[in-house]
A and B are shown apart, each in its own frame.
Chain A
Amino acid sequence: MKRIFVILSFLILLFYIWQIWKDYNRPYLVYQKEFKELLKQKGGGEAELDDVKFVVRQRWLEKLNRVDRCETCHLGVEDPRFVDAPQPYTTHPDADKHSFERFGCTVCHGGQGLATSVEDAHGPTEDWYKAISSDNFLENSCSKCHGDFIEQEAPVLAKGRTMFKEYGCRGCHNVQGLERVKVAPPLVKIGEKVKIDWLYRWLQNPQMYLPETKMPNFQLTKEEAADMTRFLIPRVRIKDPDNFEGGSYARGKRILSESRCVTCHSFEGKGGDIGPDLAKVSSKVYPEWLFEWIKNPQAMRPDTLMPAYGFSDQDIRDLVAFIVEEYIDLELEDDVIQQNIQFVESANVGRGKELIEKYGCTGCHEIEGVEDRGEIGLDLTAIGDSHISRMDFGMIEVSHEERTVPNWLYNKMKNPRLFKAGLKMPDFTFSDLEAEALTTYLMSRSKEVVPASYHLHLGERPSDYNPQGEFGEILDNYRCLVCHTINGRGGDLAPDISIEGSRVKEKWLKDFMKTPYAIRPILVERMPRLKISDSEVETLYSYFRTTLVDDRVEKLTGSVKEMSLKDPEVISLGKDLYYNKYACNACHQVNLKGGTIGPDLTSVGERLRTEWIVYYLSDPKAFLKRSIEPVYDFTEKELEALTAFLLSAKEKK
């Protein structure tokens, strides 16, 4: 008994000593000693060295309700001398914009700010919900303060946001504050549009027909694909495609190239990516449908990007004849098609409907006879706040360090049915970068609210410019805003026309709309030749001239009148400036002579208003920030001379 007592007392003494040692020998001491050495090497003064005390350093961010002790080890974050020092002493690259006094560390980087050991601070650890964000997903925190539209500063996050919208994720997943929009074509009269055999092949593997499609691969079996096809197209059409009253192949070919369909559609790998690739389109759609579609695409699908060209019926017939003959799938064999059709005909309609309900097709498509059950997937409103214990890695062995929420999401994006067989989420065949972007966006979906004083919205909110009336109708009809931008809304394929009324002359615009050409010599001609009527051009111009103007240009009218632009002496001075002093011809052409970087300036006086030329020359970047024209700071005299010369530079016939 006494012996046990002695042994126990001794053990307790050892325990006390161990506890005191443990309390003294904190894990951060190693780093602080090393930092002191490093500081000595970098030439830190006596006082500075004395300042490095062996203690826990923390920032208390009262407004963010955080305490960050990261600087206990990361001692050099604010010291520019440590730029090339190894971690954990490296200088923070962005310390001037995000001061630690105000932001700390964890609000952007994640991790456990309160911890003072590496494993606990960086994570993943069981008793903290968020491990430190790896660099790939770091941008997920930006939106807390900077809003959702940061394209410049957080491109990965912005890409993820766009992808989330475009791939129709919202169809199956609820996210508060985002509207549920059916992003894919309605399938209401799909039987009149596509061939049954095509739909069957498409459902099995959409990427096979159209590699860049956003339609995911549901990894359906042949039977499942046939059942779904059978449900979507209940009556098989027996109509022979040859019944379509065709037109002239040669004329169709000419119309296709004149109308510059290639601006949006690609044919055998060449062309734009706004519309789908049409290389094999005749194996997909019926000619009758194609005829109706080209005649008025917007009637069939109001949200299409395709303009209503205004072709005559004969034009369309020729076009269709050309397309049907030219763009066929050469690898497709007739007997295979017949086999497929027969297989689909014997499929089960009821099961097809069940499958369509099961996979939530109605999240993206409008489908007749199927009830939309709403979002069938997980609510993603606060997916970024998830605790790692909620993420089920299934039977896959994942090491402790890799058990993080972003890692789970990333792998889910890459292979949605990885963690469990029989899940419903389809495979979008995302690349690594795309999966990273989406993961970053998902991680940004958080319920954490930072105080209003921290908000600094970057980037531009999408413009709600939406003209009504006659002009709005024209704009809508020809889908001008797919390529052009007006007041912040629209595409970036073609020039911004927000102040077009101050820029171009009436006659030039009217001619251009009839026969568009490329103003820059090296550009491919892209503006489609629309069948736009004179009265419509009239409306366009009057809207441009009254609304899409800039007062800075309009107020120049007075001073332009006082310029002596017709004076031959002034013109020759301008010519001298153009060719010698400023060598404008290095970039611009006049009568096919000169560089090809800038727009052609032959007869520029017929295209641009004189006020605009003066305005643009005085500050090229005022209108277009990305303009690469040098800012020369011309004197009044030089401005006058150059303008006069440009107005005189007519086409030599």
Chain B
Amino acid sequence: MKCHDFTTSLIWLLIGAGISAWSVAALDIGTLQHPGPGFLPTLCGVLIGGLALVVFAQARRRETGEAGGVFWSERSLPRVVATVLALVAYAFLLERAGFVLTTFLVMLVIFTHVARASWLAGILESSIVTGAFYWVFGHLLKIPLPRGWLGI
């Protein structure tokens, strides 16, 4: 994990610096007697940055030439990316297209493209899952699910 440690520690260093800078610029840090709203966030930013340097130093000390391992394999990456994109699409479509349509479409994509089901099986599985969730959440738990274009 050495390679990853170099990269991740640098990312954390940036995050820590960013948090501290944002806190100092936008919020009142206050004093030790009267800590302000920016006090803890600044402290967190400094801590994250400091600890990131420790992780970096440890990675350097352990340097023995070993590789960090493959982060993504060619087989796994498309599945992970497709799933994340489907979820993001769900977030943006839900309130516009409604629960039933959005759930059916997103489940169809996941069943057919990620779980590699056939189109026929995908349509069948998505319909059952959408119907079951609509019944449990919309009817049994009485959660006001968005109706959207179809009006259901």
**A and B bind:** no
